[in-house]
């Protein structure tokens, strides 16, 4: 029996664990892949107050160690289901908790084009900071118009010989500062109002085909393509137990409670406007604080 079981060891989940153990609760964090969540891929975090320039890896590793040192258990097990009675079933065990905090984050969205899966690691990547160095002096493209795509293009500009930023609109979701910075880079070319329609190459990616709003198609020779078109939540397994929005995020009237008493949500997994490190950390702290206060 645990007081709190947290699903997901990203910033929201680990912060919830810290607040749980510091309230003297027995806390277990379950993670299906690796600690750190999406932030572990950020080359540099510039918008976390008081910690300018820290890398995502350093931040996530420090948070992970801090959580363990404070006394939380963290197990690498994939959660398969939860019940309203707070039973958590994983690929290895079955646990009972008094409260559950769901901090499952989200995963990279794929283009869903032919060849995409086959060419992953052979020219197609979803993480510029992980794979960017493989493209020293080469030609790369980044697809997307959000903070991730713009950050990726900025990261790749000093590494690659040429960076195409391909986006399906002529306006960006990304912060204006990132767009301004990108426009100062001589080797970056913006290809706007355009979508990728095919990924070409046998053993490795050789080119991409792009179509613009006027239905003109272009073949662009690239060595690498970084897909940065957003995330999709991972909450299908909870759909029998709690309310999930149409696009897969966990519903919460106040940003903490789900519709089931004793089951809470934190971080990118929930319906929210601003998915950032700062807001994930905030969610983790608040969800654990409320879970502790409401615990029978
Ligand atoms: P995002 O903000 O959801 O942006 C996704 C982009 O991909 C949008 O420009 C979208 O186009 C485009 N897109 C979506 N589906 C597409 C498809 N099928 N084909 C082509 N383009 C597609 O995702 P994100 O950039 O990964 O950011 C996710 C969250 O993390 C955001 O809240 C972001 O602010 C945050 N983030 C923060 C930092 C930081 O704090 N420094 C860094 C990275 C990310 P439309 O604009 O046309 O919808």
Position with higher pLDDT, 180 vs 43: 180
Pick the catalytic residue from 3, 131, 152, 223: 131
Sequence-distant (≥ 6) Cβ neighbours of residue 41 within 8 angstroms: 56, 127, 129, 130
pLDDT on residue 73: 98
Q: What's the CA-to-centroid distance between 76 and ligand 1, angstroms?
A: 28
Per-residue CA distances from 164 to 124, 189, 198, 246 (Å): 14, 5, 16, 33
Residues 220-272 have pLDDT tens digits of 999 999 999 998 999 999 999 999 999 999 999 999 999 999 999 999 999 99
Residue with tokens 């500009």: 157
Topology (CATH level 3) of domain 2-107+231-294:
FAD/NAD(P)-binding domain (3.50.50)
Q: Which atom of ligand 1 is nearest to the CA of 278?
A: 40
pLDDT on residue 15: 98
Q: Which atom of ligand 1 is nearest to the CA of 46?
A: 41
- Please give the model's pTM, rounded to 2 decimal places: 0.78
Torsion from C-alpha of 177, 182, 185, 188, nearest 10 degrees = -170
pLDDT on residue 282: 98
d(CA 154, CA 157): 5
DSSP secondary structure, 216-274, as one string: -EEEEE-SEEEE---EEE--GGGTTTS-B-TTSPBP-SSSSB-SSTTEEE-GGGBS-S-
- Span 128-143, average pLDDT: 92
State yes or no: pLDDT of 281 exceeds 90: yes
The average confidence (pLDDT) of the chain is 95
State yes or no: pLDDT of 184 exceeds 80: yes
Confirm whether 240 is a catalytic residue.
no
Topology (CATH level 3) of domain 116-227:
FAD/NAD(P)-binding domain (3.50.50)
- Enumerate the CATH 3.50.50.60 domain ranges in the chain, comma separated: 2-107+231-294, 116-227
pLDDT on residue 241: 97
pLDDT on residue 131: 82
pLDDT on residue 40: 84
pLDDT on residue 245: 97
Phi, psi of 11 (to 5 degrees): -55, -40
- The residues pairing with 139 across neighbouring beta strands, listed in sequence order, are 162
């Amino acid at each position: 029996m645990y007081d709190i079981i947290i699903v997901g060891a990203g910033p929201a989940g680990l912060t919830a664990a810290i607040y749980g153990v510091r309230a003297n609760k027995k806390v277990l964090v379950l993670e299906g892949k690796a600690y750190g969540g999406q932030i572990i891929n950020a080359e540099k975090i510039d918008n976390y107050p008081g910690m300018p320039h820290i890398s995502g890896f350093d931040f996530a590793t420090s948070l992970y160690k801090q959580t363990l040192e404070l006394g939380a258990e963290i197990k690498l097990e994939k959660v398969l289901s939860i019940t309203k009675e707070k039973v958590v079933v994983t690929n290895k065990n079955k646990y009972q908790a008094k409260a559950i905090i769901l901090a499952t984050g989200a995963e990279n969205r794929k283009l869903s084009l032919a060849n995409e899966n086959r060419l992953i690691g052979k020219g197609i990547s979803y993480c510029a900071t992980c794979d960017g160095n493989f493209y020293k002096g080469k030609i790369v493209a980044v697809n997307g118009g959000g903070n991730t795509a713009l950050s990726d293009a900025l990261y790749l500009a000093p590494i690659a010989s040429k960076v195409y930023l391909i986006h399906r609109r002529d306006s960006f979701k990304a912060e204006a500062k990132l767009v301004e910075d990108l426009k100062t880079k001589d080797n970056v070319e913006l290809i706007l109002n355009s979508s990728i329609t095919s990924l070409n190459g046998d053993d490795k990616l050789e080119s991409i085909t792009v179509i613009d709003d006027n239905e003109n198609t272009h073949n662009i020779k690239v060595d690498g393509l970084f897909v940065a078109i957003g995330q999709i939540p991972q909450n299908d397994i909870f759909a029998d137990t709690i309310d999930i929005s149409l696009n897969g995020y966990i519903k919460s009237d106040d940003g903490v409670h789900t519709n089931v008493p004793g089951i809470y949500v934190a971080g990118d997994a929930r319906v929210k406007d601003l998915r950032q490190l700062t807001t994930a950390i905030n969610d983790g702290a608040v969800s654990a604080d409320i879970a502790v206060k409401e615990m029978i």
